Amino acid sequence: MPLGFAIIGIGNIAPIHATAIQNTPDAQLVAVCTRNEARGRAFVEKFGGTYIADYHAVLARDDVDVVAICTPHDLHAPMTIDAARAGKHILIEKPMARNVAECDAMIQAAERAGVTLGVIAQMRFDPLIPNLQSLISNSLGKIIWVSANVLWYRTDEYYRSGAWRGTREHEGGGVLINQAIHLVDLMLYLTGMPTHVTAQTRTLNHQIEVEDAVLAILEYADNRLGLIQATVSAYPDSPERLDVIGTRGSAIYHRGEARLEWHIAEPRDDGELRGAASSGAAAPMAISAAGHIAQFHDFVAAIREHRAPLVDGHEGRKSVAVVEAVYRSAACHQRVEIGD
Ligand SMILES: NC(=O)c1ccc[n+]([C@@H]2O[C@H](COP(=O)([O-])OP(=O)(O)OC[C@H]3O[C@@H](n4cnc5c(N)ncnc54)[C@H](O)[C@@H]3O)[C@@H](O)[C@H]2O)c1
């Protein structure tokens, strides 16, 4: 029997989840949950499953093994905890939650219930990433600098498209926790956790209460530096990129162009690899389902093999810990420590 999946929250990202389920041999969509009945029924028409308005009713069903949670950020923790208590495995959209305390409660609930918790971080599953990992491990020398650049554009209309968007209570922050978190997660995955951050946030060109711009200087235990530079006020969008610089050369992952470029000084090596582009720069949903499909495959295999998925709760929590420290630093105008 394939694992029965329910998708909770039928908005922008839900079709990508349904496509990922369709493309995962051991998975089947059995339930679709959203409070908007017309939207829920149209989704069922297209992707299958049964429409259910209340997520508690989803959690009560025996044919649901896994819930894929695609709701606003403030609902990630309570829905995950309820799902764990009901004995369901959980694949939660990014960010894992609004803050570290919520992440910890989610991890604890999943561990207590003995269910598998995964956090969507589809950029980790880009086929170019193993090449970047190999450059970092074998060619760049000692890493001395890493920077994440997300210079995107979101309209005021985007922020008006959902009552939760642009609000501290529901979104938990702005460009950093919503858009830039993808590259922040990748940066931490590839090059480790920083120890301290000094940051500034601004709301430069939107009528929202959260930041639409952030600059954060990261410090690492080995004396290296890092930078997060992100805004959604940069018309007309630039493809996002991650630069990793070592003592012998640099690698630039042009995520937005699906291109990896490297330059090594000694012995001289300049190269480039291209993959399939899947950037959310121009529009939030201009992403392909490929990363999600690969992550769903890993998640289902993890459940079947009784192992942790590649991005479990502990991994998902890391980017939230950095985000939280950035917000703390910006609020107090001080350099702050990034907690465990
Ligand atoms: N991985 C990615 O590339 C990516 C891209 C876009 C969004 N996301 C993430 O996906 C999540 C959802 O974002 P979105 O853009 O699809 O949001 P959205 O506003 O388009 O959709 C959210 C949906 O949740 C539903 N919902 C709200 N409360 C509910 C409840 N109590 N029960 C059931 N349904 C409820 C809403 O009706 C809505 O349909 C967020 O965490 C976001 O950050 C990830």
The predicted-structure confidence for 71-91, as pLDDT tens digits, reads as follows: 999 999 999 999 999 999 999
CATH number at residue 176: 3.30.360.10
Give per-residue pLDDT as tens, 174-232: 999 999 999 999 999 999 999 999 999 999 999 999 999 999 999 999 999 999 999 99
Q: Please check whether residues 102 and 26 belong to one and the same domain.
A: yes
Q: Please check whether residues 168 and 20 belong to one and the same domain.
A: no
Q: Please check whether residues 140 and 176 belong to one and the same domain.
A: yes
Residue 54 pLDDT class (50, 70, 90 cuts): very high
Give the mean pLDDT of the chain. 96
Domain count, the chain: 2
Q: Please check whether residues 110 and 28 belong to one and the same domain.
A: yes
Q: Please check whether residues 237 and 267 belong to one and the same domain.
A: yes
Q: Please check whether residues 260 and 331 belong to one and the same domain.
A: yes
Residue 13 belongs to domain spanning: 3-123+290-310
Q: Please check whether residues 83 and 137 belong to one and the same domain.
A: no
Q: Is the pTM of this model over 0.95?
A: yes
d(CA 263, CA 241): 16
Q: Measure the N-to-C terminal CA separation of the chain; round to a whole number of Å.
A: 40
Q: What is the pLDDT of residue 126?
A: 96
* Of 60, 49, 109, 101, the residue nearest 84 (C-alpha): 109
C-alpha 11 to ligand 1 mean position (Å): 5
d(CA 76, CA 91): 10
Helices (H) and strands (E) in the chain, counts: 12, 15
Ligand 1, from 19, 34, 59, 182: best to mutate by most atoms within 8 Å of Cβ?
34
pLDDT at 278 over 80: no
Q: Please check whether residues 59 and 146 belong to one and the same domain.
A: no
Contact residues of ligand 1, CB 6 A cut-off: 8-13, 33-36, 55, 70-73, 75, 93-94, 120, 122, 162, 178, 280, 284, 287
For 59, phi and psi rounded to 5 degrees? -70, -20
pLDDT at 275 over 80: yes
Give per-residue pLDDT as tens, 107-149: 999 999 999 999 999 999 999 999 999 999 999 999 999 999 9
Residue 277 pLDDT class (50, 70, 90 cuts): low
C-alpha 70 to ligand 1 mean position (Å): 4
Q: How many CA atoms lie within 13 A of 310 on its CB side?
A: 19
Average pLDDT of the residues in 272-289: 71
C-alpha 94 to ligand 1 mean position (Å): 10
Q: For atom 36 of ligand 1, which residue has the closest CA?
A: 9
Which DSSP state fits 219?
Answer: E
Ligand 1, from 74, 76, 93: best to mutate by most atoms within 8 Å of Cβ?
93
Q: Which residues have CB under 8 Å from 305's CB, separation 6+?
A: none
Q: What is the CA radius of gyration of the chain?
A: 20
Residue 276 pLDDT class (50, 70, 90 cuts): confident
Q: Please check whether residues 160 and 22 belong to one and the same domain.
A: no
Which strands, in side-by-side order, build the sheet including 196-202? 269-274, 259-264, 249-254, 241-246, 143-151, 225-231, 213-219, 196-202, 336-337
Q: Please check whether residues 299 and 201 belong to one and the same domain.
A: no
Q: What is the pLDDT of residue 138?
A: 97
Q: Please check whether residues 132 and 109 belong to one and the same domain.
A: no
CA separation (Å) from 75 to 18, 83, 96?
A: 20, 12, 10
d(CA 288, CA 136): 26
C-alpha 102 to ligand 1 mean position (Å): 18
d(CA 143, CA 157): 41
Helix segments in the chain, DSSP class H: 14-22, 37-47, 55-59, 76-85, 100-113, 129-138, 156-160, 168-171, 175, 181-191, 290-305, 313-332
Query: 319, 184 in Cβ contact below 8 A?
Result: yes
Q: Please check whether residues 119 and 131 belong to one and the same domain.
A: no
CATH number at residue 59: 3.40.50.720
Q: What is the pLDDT of residue 339?
A: 84
